[in-house]
Amino acid sequence: MEEQDQMQSSIEVEELEEQQQREGKRLEEENVVRFLDSLDSYVTLLDSLSSTLRQGWLELASARQSMGASRINGALLDLKFHSAATSLQVTHHDDEILNQPHFTLCKWASSKNGYGDEKLRENKLQTNSDGPQLRHRSQFAGTPEKIPETKGAPLIVDDQVQKERTKSLSMFGTLVSPKLRAAQLSFETALETLVEIANVRLTMLSTSDQVRKELEGTEG
């Protein structure tokens, strides 16, 4: 009887050890997949940034062709002191796995009109809907965050954003060519992509560290 009990308990211990090993292996694989996902996203975003910037520069040249060199040149840039139309916010993730800062672009936020929070939210909405589709191989990556839609408020925000865009272009005149507006949108998209690249790079470096530690632990 005692022998049977001992055998039973040793089997249980073995099973527990096996389970722990499987769990450990699963976590390792999860980190590797997370690293590969972030690397893929990083490369995709870099490519997207490059093509967006190329498009923006060509659109700017096209606007210069349309409006004339005297209307679009560096000598017209405004040197007067003014508050930034766009700022970068750094927040810290509450994620247990990835304890790292997170960058958020606060576009077209003006302290005068107090629309800063709406801009931040609108930016998140845009980033989530317009950004490149990131592939998630891992089933453990978690579902994308769903932000509830609001009705009515986006229209007011869009109007204000349009006004801010027009205001920033006003250094070249108030009646500017649609090509210049298109160039502005391209560079705006490029700025959003840059911030995404920064976030993805942080994730990539963090998961890379974890994978390296696990490999070193395995070899040791």
Partner 1 sequence: MYGFEALTFNVHAGYLEAIVRGHRAGLLTAADYNNLCQCETLDDIKMHLSATEYGPYLQNEPSPLHTTTIVEKCTLKLVEDYKHMLCQATEPLSTFLEYITYGHMIDNVVLIVTGTLHERDVQELLEKCHPLGMFDSIATLAVAQNMRELYRLVLVDTPLAPYFSECITSEDLDDMNIEIMRNTLYKAYLEDFYRFCQKLGGATAEIMSDLLSFEADRRAVNISINSIGTELTRDDRKKLYSNFGLLHPYGHEELAVCEDIDQVRGVMEKYPPYQSIFSKLSYGESQMLDKAFYEEEVKRLCLAFEQQFHYGVFFAYMRLREQEIRNLMWISECVAQNQKSRVHDSVVFIF
Nearer to partner 1, 85 or 106 (CB): 85
User: Residue 123 CB, nearest distance to partner 1 (Å)?
Assistant: 21
Site for partner 1 in 73-92 (CB under 8 A): 73, 75-80
Q: Judged by CB under 8 A, does residue 112 bind partner 1?
A: no
Closest among 109, 141, 137, 142 to 124, alpha carbons compared? 109
User: Residue 113 CB, nearest distance to partner 1 (Å)?
Assistant: 16
DSSP 56-123: HHHHHHHHHHHH-TTTSSGGGS--S----SSEEEEEE---SS---EEEEEETT--TTTT-HHHHHHHH
Task: Give the x-and-dash track for 147-166 against partner 1 (CB under 8 A).
Answer: ---------------x---x
Q: Judged by CB under 8 A, does residue 143 bind partner 1?
A: no
Q: Judged by CB under 8 A, does residue 173 bind partner 1?
A: yes
SS3 143: coil
Among 28, 71, 85, 86, binds partner 1 (CB under 8 A): 71
Site for partner 1 in 181-210 (CB under 8 A): 182
Q: Judged by CB under 8 A, does residue 62 bind partner 1?
A: yes
User: Which residues partner with 91 through β-bridges?
Assistant: 102
- CA-CA-CA-CA torsion sign (149, 169, 178, 159): positive
Nearer to partner 1, 71 or 121 (CB): 71
Separation of first and last alpha carbons in the chain:
41
User: CA–CA separation, 195 vs 158, rounded Å?
Assistant: 21
Q: Judged by CB under 8 A, does residue 70 bind partner 1?
A: yes
Residues that bind partner 1 (CB under 8 A): 54, 57-58, 61-62, 64-66, 68-71, 73, 75-80, 162, 166, 170-171, 173-179, 182
